[in-house]
Amino acid sequence: MVTLSMLTHPINKKGKTMAASSDAFTPEQLARWRAKALAVHQRLLEHFGPAPRRRRDPLDELMLTVLSQNTNDRNRDRAYAALRARFPTWEAVRDADPQAVKAAIRTAGLANQKGPRIQAILRQITKERGALDLNFLAHLDTEDARQWLLRFPGVGPKTAAIVLLFSLDKPAFPVDTHVYRVTGRLGLRPPNLNIEKTHALMERIFPPEAYYDAHINLIRLGRRYCHPRRPRCESCPVRDLCDYAQSQTTSHQAPAQSQEGGIA
């Protein structure tokens, strides 16, 4: 069970770069977001349950995440399966004819971008490490491992955090489009905070031991209730905790009160 006291954990070493961008927040803001993050996390655990654990080899996860950019899970998985079927090893992908790689991953979309990107990453890893193996990252500090991944073309904060969290058991909080939208509506971040800084803030307001379940459950919430256009607030499990839902209630009440002459 996560407790409120666990949310007051000091900023640890991992935050030296990612957290620096959100250091402008006041202690009062952080305390409020931490309390809400805990309440949302616990409510989502009650509603959805803990997230099923999965673990892939970190290089597999990195390649899969690059393929996932700007597409859905189904097309990503089809492209990944086709790539692995066509080329038995990552060395074979690295050394393949670029056109053959693009053809294999076509279903993921943006093949002309993703194919060369995948091959460039594989070449660079080989050059730096002498082999296609990212398990050494497990022995690095989280922030050092994150910075190592972020140097690659096409690897942003979300991709790096996914590899860290899902394949290396590192405390990183990936923020995808669902997490970004839902945390904005809930009021777990300032509305205008960009997605990169939202990664840093989420790592400050959720306790590290909650990252995995909170990340997955916020995505579940986004997919099943908090749709981009028509959020299903009326049946949402965190409605009473949500700034957007409260503002909708208030704005619907305001005209009625005004018509009755109850507001100055």
Residues contributing to the site for ligand SF4 (CB under 6 A): 182, 185-186, 225-226, 231-233, 236, 238-239, 242, 244-245
Active site annotation includes 158: yes
Angle, helix 111-129 to helix 58-68, in steps of 10 degrees: 160
Min CB(243)–ligand SF4 separation in Å: 8
The CA–CA distances, whole Å, from 206 to 24, 32, 169 equal 18, 12, 16
Residue 214, number of CB atoms within 10 A of its CB: 26
Residue where the block lists tokens 């616990």: 42
| C-alpha dihedral, 51 to 56 to 62 to 68, nearest 10° | -50
Min CB(225)–ligand SF4 separation in Å: 4
With respect to ligand SF4, which residue has the nearer C-beta, 118 or 238? 238
Tokens of 213: 């379940």
Min CB(48)–ligand SF4 separation in Å: 13
Residue where the block lists tokens 């790592």: 203
Handedness of CA 37, 39, 41, 43 (dihedral sign): negative
Burial (CB < 10 A; 0-12, 13-18, 19+), residue 45, is: middle
Min CB(218)–ligand SF4 separation in Å: 9
Residues in the chain: 264
Residue where the block lists tokens 């965190």: 238
Residues 168 and 27: their CA atoms lie apart, in Å, by: 31
What secondary structure letter does DSSP report for 164?
I
| Nearest CA among 142, 174, 148, 179 for reference residue 64 | 174
With respect to ligand SF4, which residue has the nearer C-beta, 94 or 239? 239
With respect to ligand SF4, which residue has the nearer C-beta, 140 or 241? 241
Out of 14, 158, 170, 197, the active site residue is: 158
Active site residues: 158
